[in-house]
Amino acid sequence: MWPHISRDFALVNEKNETTNAADGGSTLAGQLLGALQLSQDATLQFVSAWFDGAAEVVAKLTDMAATPKPETIPSPNELLTFAQQLHGAQQNFIAELTAKADPVSFLGSLKAAQTALLAKPGEIAAANARLMIGLDAAVRATLECASGAAPAAPMSPSSGDSRFADPAYAQSPLYFLLEQEYLLGCQYFGELLDAAQLDESQDAKARFAAKFILDALAPTNTLLGNPAALREAFDTGGESLVRGARNMLEDLNQKGGWPSQVDSSGFELGVNMAATPGVVVYRNELIELIQYAPQTEHVFAVPLLFCPPWINKYYIMDLAPGKSLIEWAVQHGHTCFAISYRNPDSSMRDLGLEDYLRLGFFEAIRVIRDITRAQEVNTVSLCLGGTLSAIGLAYNAAIGDASIKSATLLNTMTDFSVPGVLGLFTDEATIAGLELQMQKDGFLEADAMAHVFDALRANDLIFQYIGNNWLLGKQPVAFDLLVWNSDGTRMPAKMHSEYLRSCYLNNEFALGEFAVDGRRLYPKDVKIDTYVVAAINDHIVPWTAGYKTATIFAGPNRFVLTTSGHIAGVVNPPGPKPKYWSNDARPDDPQVWKNEATLVDGTWWEDWAEWIDARGGDEIAPPDHLGSESYPSLEVAPGSYVRVRA
Q: Does residue 477 sit within a domain? A: no
Residues with catalytic roles = 383
pLDDT of residue 448: 80
Q: Is 620 helix (H, G, I), strand (E, B) or coil?
A: strand
CA atoms within 13 A on the CB side of 58: 23
| pLDDT beyond 80 at 581 | yes
Q: Which amino acid is at 449?
A: M
% helix, strand, coil for the chain, step of 5: 55, 10, 35
Q: Does residue 464 sit within a domain? A: no
Residues 534 and 600 in one domain: yes
Residues 219 and 290 in one domain: no
Domain count, the chain: 2
Q: Is 219 helix (H, G, I), strand (E, B) or coil?
A: helix
Burial class (CB in 10 A: 0-12, 13-18, 19+), 285: exposed
CA–CA distances in Å: residue 153 to residues 135, 168, 191: 11, 14, 20
pLDDT of residue 63: 42
Specify the higher pLDDT residue, 330 or 142: 330
Alpha-carbon distance 490 to 588, whole Å? 37
Specify the higher pLDDT residue, 549 or 37: 549
Q: Which amino acid is at 221?
A: N
End-to-end CA distance of the chain: 48
Alpha-carbon distance 292 to 340, whole Å? 13
Can you tell me the mean pLDDT for 554-575?
96
DSSP E strand boundaries for 425-518? 443-444, 491-492, 515-516
- pLDDT tens digit string along 274-292? 999 999 999 999 999 999 9
With residue 378 as reference, give the H or E element that holds it: strand 377-382
Can you tell me the mean pLDDT for 559-585?
96
Question: CA 466 from chain center: how many Å?
Answer: 17
Nearest CA to 220 among 472, 4, 7?
472
Portion of the chain with pLDDT greater than 70, in percent: 84
Q: Does residue 250 sit within a domain? A: no
Q: Where does 236-272 have alpha helices with state H?
A: 239-255
204 in Cβ contact with 101 (< 8 Å): no
Q: Does residue 155 sit within a domain? A: yes
Specify the higher pLDDT residue, 563 or 65: 563
Size of the chain in residues? 646
- Exposure string for 243-279, b = 16+ CB within 10 A, e = fewer: bbbebbeebeeeeeebbbbbebeebebbeebbbbebb
pTM metric for this prediction: 0.81
| pLDDT beyond 80 at 561 | yes
- Which of the listed residues 188, 223, 258 is the one where a domain comes to its end? 223
pLDDT of residue 80: 52
537 in Cβ contact with 397 (< 8 Å): no
| pLDDT beyond 80 at 363 | yes
| pLDDT beyond 80 at 8 | no
pLDDT of residue 282: 98
pLDDT of residue 66: 40
Q: Does residue 307 sit within a domain? A: yes
Residues 115 and 190 in one domain: yes
Residues 206 and 324 in one domain: no
Q: What is the mean pLDDT of the chain?
A: 85
Confidence of residue 537 (pLDDT cuts 50, 70, 90): very high
578 in Cβ contact with 562 (< 8 Å): yes
pLDDT of residue 105: 62
CATH code (residue 536): 3.40.50.1820
CA–CA distances in Å: residue 497 to residues 124, 492, 504: 41, 9, 10
- pLDDT tens digit string along 615-629? 999 999 999 999 999
| pLDDT beyond 60 at 6 | no
Q: Does residue 454 sit within a domain? A: no
pLDDT of residue 337: 98
Domain range holding 310?
Answer: 278-442+491-643
- pLDDT tens digit string along 210-265? 888 889 889 999 888 899 999 998 898 888 988 988 898 888 888 878 899 999 99
371 in Cβ contact with 304 (< 8 Å): no
pLDDT of residue 118: 86
pLDDT of residue 255: 82
Residues forming a β-bridge with 491: 444
Specify the higher pLDDT residue, 447 or 513: 513
- pLDDT tens digit string along 126-184? 988 998 999 899 989 999 888 888 888 899 998 888 999 999 999 899 899 999 999 99
Can you tell me the mean pLDDT for 500-512?
97
Nearest CA to 227 among 181, 170, 306?
170
Residues 282 and 219 in one domain: no
Can you tell me the mean pLDDT for 596-612?
98
Can you tell me the mean pLDDT for 51-77?
40
Q: Does residue 461 sit within a domain? A: no
Q: Is 629 helix (H, G, I), strand (E, B) or coil?
A: coil
Backbone dihedral angles phi then psi of residue 535, each to the nearest 5 degrees: -125, 130
Alpha-carbon distance 591 to 411, whole Å? 17
| pLDDT beyond 80 at 470 | yes
Alpha-carbon distance 347 to 596, whole Å? 51
Q: Does residue 186 sit within a domain? A: yes
Question: Beta strand pairing status for 557-562 and 579-582?
Answer: antiparallel
345 in Cβ contact with 378 (< 8 Å): no
